[in-house]
Structure 1
Amino acid sequence: MPSVSTRHFQLPPWQQGAAQSWFERGEGTPRKPRAASSVLLLRDSRQGAETYLRYRRGESPLGKIAFPGGSLEAADDDPVAWYGPVPAEWARMLGMDDPQQARRHVVAAVRELFEETGVLLAGPDEATLLESNRGADWMAAREGIASGELSLPQLLSKRGLGLRSDLLRPLTHWLTADFALRRFDTRYFAAVQPLGQDTSLLESKGVWGQWRVASDEIERAATSELGDEVGQPDTVGLTLEQLTVPGVLLMIEKLAKARGCIAYLAHRRANDVFQPQLIDAGGAYVLQVSTVDAAEGCGQRGR
């Protein structure tokens, strides 16, 4: 039997007001969460498994420091050449009843990863992957997707490419805590950085994004080193726990313990929905999360 323990996570400063209001109102009706996808991008290094982290402006439910990701969009329903597990199989892997919704999450994951990092999980056939994402034309495509002037299906069709859904692995499913002013219903995926493809910031919106050794970030998680390095007014002086959301921190912890990307991806994960719960711990508002050794990290089960 896996062991279960409860952990408390600090709230970032910008969430304190919403937390206090939530309790003062007597825990009102939660805002409806928006469906979202996020991708833990991986690679191996001599120092250990690495993941790509980026800074997000504003008060994102994914955290100030997070994996690439964002909301599902209408164009994620558009036709696209598809290689790998079909939507019905993805619905099974994600524990969903609706194959079309599962398809939306997969397309959104590939789209957000490309927009925010330049990595494109696509190829001309089921056995081939895009070999290079370098050049001004690829950056222009990312900018077009970010502005809404271009959709991922349009880009793939124009380039004669199909979406390689087989290069994604499902990780876990998290709901933002009820008190938050913005909430996401997020499906997290993992993917390994393809050979020949580089990561880069989006020219119009990127502020900070880097590959980080997971074990190093966990070692210094109690310090403000990462937040100070990012150097933004809303990151300086904050710990990793305050900069990100519990689900992301727990995934980084699991990655830090893994013996490389293959071992991490091979780990079996449940399809349960997890959600942090806001509690008043002796005058301080914290997020309470139950962690299960055999899972990616669990919060109280939602709905």
Structure 2
Amino acid sequence: MELPQELLERARAIAAGRIDPVPARDSATVALLRDRPGGLEVYLLRRKATMAFAAGAYVFPGGSVDPRDTDHALAWAGPSPAEWAKILQSDESTARGLVCAAVRETFEESGVLLAGPGPDEVVADTTGEDWEADRLALIDRGLAFADFLDRRELVLRTDLLTAWAHWVTPDVETKRFDTRFFAAALPYGQRTRDVGGEADQVCWARPREALNRAERGDIFLMPPTYVTLGELAEYGESAAVLAAEREIVRVQPRVVEIDGQVRLDV
């Protein structure tokens, strides 16, 4: 993709050493999947046009790690933080925060909660005024995720997540994220809902359908989302996605000049 003029100027300033890149914040995003007769579908939300980052883009639920996501008091079931650290190629504290952020942000942005009363159970329904009040309190950071789970006597089901990819925002961007991508299936009995917030539209779509819409110019996809949808399009059902063996490799698009044109190379 060709760079806008303002990013081109930043790229030249960074290359010349006049400015330093903005530090990338740890974040997590989840490709939430469901199986339908027509094939595998993924949940997407469109970021509001007023957002400072990826405005108008269709994305998976996700966001930055809250410092409290690393809370050791958080009830945990499934692979341990140490095991996740090996998978994500990070230290244990970072892995704990990333996994927690993945589950928390999915609940905040879709209403789907990957947690249950025990290690073999999952919440069946997250609708109702009390759930909505907690969701809003989490978004406002007035409620820590560990406290939310503790009050409801729930454990984080980390076994419902599969690590998928690792993308880092290019140096030239003014808002940067070091993002781990996960995949998860919609738990039985739960349903997504239009929860507002940073999004003005949500939808379920088959991965290939979303790519076709992007290629026609009907929707806008950031490179990590585009690539991930292309990978998901190779699978017919969510179980196959979650069983896939993935090598998590750090990908950071970079600025290159080809035939006199400066572009972002993935």
Q: Give 1:125's aligned residue.
A: 118
1:61, 1:182 within 8 Å by CA — same for their partners in 2?
no
The alpha carbon displacement at 1:213 in A equals: 1.1
Corresponding position: 1:187 with 2:164:
no
Q: 1:244 to 1:219 in 2, by over 3 A?
A: closer
| Amino acid in the other structure paired with 1:249 | Y
Q: What CA distance in whole angstroms lies between the structure 2 residues aligned with 1:146 and 1:72?
A: 12
Aligned counterparts of 1:282 and 1:83: Cα–Cα separation in 2: 53
Matched, 1:53 2:44: yes
Q: Please say which of residues 243-252 and 101-110 is displaced more in the overlay.
A: 243-252
Give the TM-score normalised by structure 2: 0.91
Structure 2 portions without partners, runs of 5+: none
Residue 285 of structure 1 deviates from its aligned partner by: 4.0
Task: Tell me the CA shift for residue 282 of structure 1.
Answer: 4.2
Alpha-carbon separation, structure 2, partners of 1:276 and 1:125: 41
Which residue of the partner structure matches residue 297 of structure 1? none
| Pair 1:21 & 2:9 matched | yes
Aligned pair partner of 1:89 in 80, 83, 88: 83
Q: CA deviation at 1:254?
A: 1.1
Deviations 1:175-204 (A, max 9, x none): 111111111000111110001111112245
SS of match in other structure, 1:110:
helix
Equivalent residue runs for 1:1-303 within 5 Å: 10-11=1-2, 16-25=4-13, 27=15, 28=17, 29-57=20-48, 58-60=51-53, 64-78=57-71, 79-96=73-90, 98-225=91-218, 227=219, 243-282=220-259, 284-289=261-266
> Is contact 2:214-2:221 (8 Å) kept?
no
Q: Distance in 2 between matches of 1:26 and 1:112?
A: 32
Q: Secondary structure at the match of 1:75?
A: helix
Identical residues among aligned pairs (%): 37
Distance 1:210 1:23, change over 3 A: same
Q: Is the 8 A contact 1:63 1:245 kept in 2?
A: no
1:48 Cα deviation (Å)? 1.6
Shift of 1:44: 1.3
Within 1, Cα distance between the matches of 2:110 and 2:66?
18
Kindly indicate whether the alpha-carbon contact (under 8 Å) linking 1:37 and 1:72 is maintained by their aligned counterparts in 2: yes
Counterpart residue identity of residue 73, structure 1: D
Instruction: Look up the SS of the partner of 2:189 in the other structure.
Output: coil
CA distance in 2, matches of 1:263, 1:105: 23
Give, in whole Å, the separation in 2 of the partners of 1:113 and 1:77. 17
- Is 63-72 or 175-184 further displaced after alignment? 63-72
- Answer whether contact 2:47 2:54 (CA < 8 A) is retained: no
Aligned residue type for 1:266: A
Q: Quote the RMSD (CA, aligned, Å).
A: 1.9
Alignment partners' CA distance in 2, 1:263 and 1:283: 43
Q: Secondary structure at the match of 2:200?
A: coil
Q: Give the deviation of 1:221 after TM superposition.
A: 2.7
**How far did residue 39 of structure 1 move?**
0.6
* Count of paired positions: 260
User: 5+ residue gaps in structure 1?
Assistant: 1-9, 228-242, 290-303
Tell me the amino acid that sits aligned with residue 142 of structure 1.
R
